[in-house]
Amino acid sequence: MPLPKNFLWGGATAANQLEGAYLEDGKGLSNVDVIPFGERRFPVMAGKDIKFDLSDPAGYPSHEAIDFYHRYKEDIALMAEMGFKAFRMSIAWSRIYPNGEEAQPNEKGLTFYENVFDELIKYGIEPVVTIDHFDVPQALVEKYGSWRSREMVDLFVKYATTLFVRYKGKVKYWMTFNEINMLMHLPFMGAGVFFKEGDHKLQVKYQAAHHLLVASATVTKIAHEIDPNNQIGCMLAGGMTYPYSCAPEDVRMAQVKNRESYFFIDVQSRGEYPNYVKKELEREGIVLAMKDGDLEILKNHPVDYIAFSYYSSRVASGTPDASANTAGNVFKSVKNPHLKSSEWGWQIDPIGLRTTMNELYDRYQKPLFIVENGLGAVDTPLEDGTINDDYRIDYLREHVREMVKAVEEDGVELLGYTPWGCIDLVSASTGEMKKRYGFIYVNKDDQGNGDLSRSRKKSFFWYKRVIASNGKELD
Ligand code: BGP
């Protein structure tokens, strides 16, 4: 089975990492707009530092980002030149409902995304839309503590319904929450959740998870009612966890770690809380507040496809030695001695992509969609402006090779491949510009210097050939 003719080659982005214009045309503040650059970034993302007053001298990367808001036509033209069939983007909730609770949506926000979709469609590029990519109106964070409160479910449903109605016929592929399992690791970045003194943190996170899951299933139902052509995906921060060795303790720990990620997708795809989570809740003394009908909603409205990001595999050991952990990754992992690492310490494992695809396909038996993959690296333009990013081409080539094998040799159903940050944008974890993923270079540095001009890297021409040959010409 070769890659299908209509395979969705493209690239992926998120509103807060590329749009900028953070208060323009009526947009409200988002949780991501109060996450500063610099040393407070991590504690704020983790929900431990709750100073949200925008006074950090290190600045706030989302405020300008790469100014896609004003430059989207030029950027989409470059993506079209590469031959993109799909473009993954997200909608900033606070552009549509600036404080989350208005009676009417903000027309200027709706028009902006409509213009972007029309521009994509003009070139035959399919929009693939994340409804919530690390993006909650800050007003809801401050009023309700974000997803820890049940109120969020109805507010999210209202927001998503507005999108389904307005963009009917223009957008078919949707994802509800980006990397939904991020809630457990960086709760403020992932879902606007922060902690107060005396909180039972795990209880707060699981309750927020329940709200996210009910909201996701409810909007899946509504999306199908509004347009039966709508395809709704969940989105997992993917990458299998391997056992460090064949010691049974290591194998068991790897299983536990994998389940931490699969929990959300098990519910979104199979429609039920898995027993291993019910048992954990029991052990921790956590009783989830649920409403009548929640379990039916989860059961009756599973997702249509499984989207995931893949940057690396992870490793777990039953006898952990903290000093052996890899650097730089949100997900704690023991260092894998068989793999090389990126400049940010993320380990590089192309075969792990094939293994992860097979694992997910076996587990859910639904089409997959790789909606993020890529290498964050420093690019240094030569004097004449060219950027020879062979390291990025090498990373992507090996991953695409394994992806194609998973489809052609293993029979995994795959809708598409949209590598992350197809145009350089702000890093989610570090807020840096210098951690670049793009085929398109953006002239801006971490201090905000640069004219934001765009240029084509060597990988731009490589990816164009890959798309034109439907994954056959990789060299
Ligand atoms: C994922 C997020 C993206 C993204 C990517 C790369 O976790 O969904 O928003 O940025 O990782 O991570 P980073 O930007 O930290 O290099």
pLDDT of residue 331: 72
Q: What is the pLDDT of residue 2?
A: 79
Q: Which candidate, 203, 65, 37, places its Cα nearest to that of 133? A: 65
Q: Is residue 239 part of a domain?
A: yes
Query: Under a CB-based contact definition with an 8 Å cutoff, are residues 375 and 396 in contact?
Result: yes
- Which residue among 429, 432, 434, 446 has the greatest number of ligand 1 atoms within 8 angstroms of its CB, and so is best to mutate? 429
Would 448 be classed as within a structural domain?
Answer: yes
Cα four-point dihedral sign 175, 177, 181, 185: positive
Work out the burial of residue 282: count CB atoms within 10 Å of its CB; fewer than 13 is exposed, 13-18 middle, 19 or more buried: exposed
Q: Which residues are catalytic?
A: 179, 372
Q: What total number of domains does the chain contain?
A: 1
- Structural domain contains residue 2: no
Please report whether residue 455 resides in a domain.
yes
Note the helical H segments in 150-274. Answer: 151-166, 187-191, 201-226, 248-265
Q: What is the pLDDT of residue 97?
A: 98
CATH number for 164: 3.20.20.80
How far is the C-alpha of 198 from the C-alpha of 113, rounded, in Å? 41
* Domain with 182 in it: 8-468
Residue 473 forms part of a structural domain: no
Indicate which residue's Cα is closest to atom 9 of ligand 1.
428
Assigned domain for 152 exists: yes
- CA of 183 from ligand 1 middle (Å) equals 14
pTM of the complete model: 0.97
- Residue 420, ligand 1, Cβ within 6 A: yes
Looking at ligand 1, which residue's alpha carbon is closest to its atom 14?
A: 427
Phi and psi at 428, nearest 5°, equal -70, -45
Quick check: CB of 427 below 6 Å from ligand 1?
yes
In a domain, 206, yes or no: yes
> Euclidean distance between the first and final Cα of the chain, in Å?
22
Ligand 1 mutation target, pool 186, 372, 436, most atoms within 8 A of CB: 372
Ligand 1 atom closest to 179 (CA): 8
> Ligand 1: distance of its center to the CA of 437 in Å?
10
Q: Look at residue 39 and tell me if it is in a domain.
A: yes
pLDDT in tens, the chain (475 residues): 679 999 999 999 999 999 999 999 999 999 999 999 999 999 999 999 999 999 999 999 999 999 999 999 999 999 999 999 999 999 999 999 999 999 999 999 999 999 999 999 999 999 999 999 999 999 999 999 999 999 999 999 999 999 999 999 999 999 999 999 999 999 999 999 999 999 999 999 999 999 999 999 999 999 999 999 999 999 999 999 999 999 999 999 999 999 999 999 999 999 999 999 999 999 999 999 999 999 999 999 999 999 999 999 999 999 866 556 765 556 778 999 999 999 999 999 999 999 999 999 999 999 999 999 999 999 999 999 999 999 999 999 999 999 999 999 999 999 999 999 999 999 999 999 999 999 999 999 999 999 999 999 999 999 999 999 999 999 9
* Cα 46 to Cα 70, 147, 176, distances in angstroms: 31, 14, 22
**Is 93 close to ligand 1, i.e. is its CB under 6 Å away?**
no
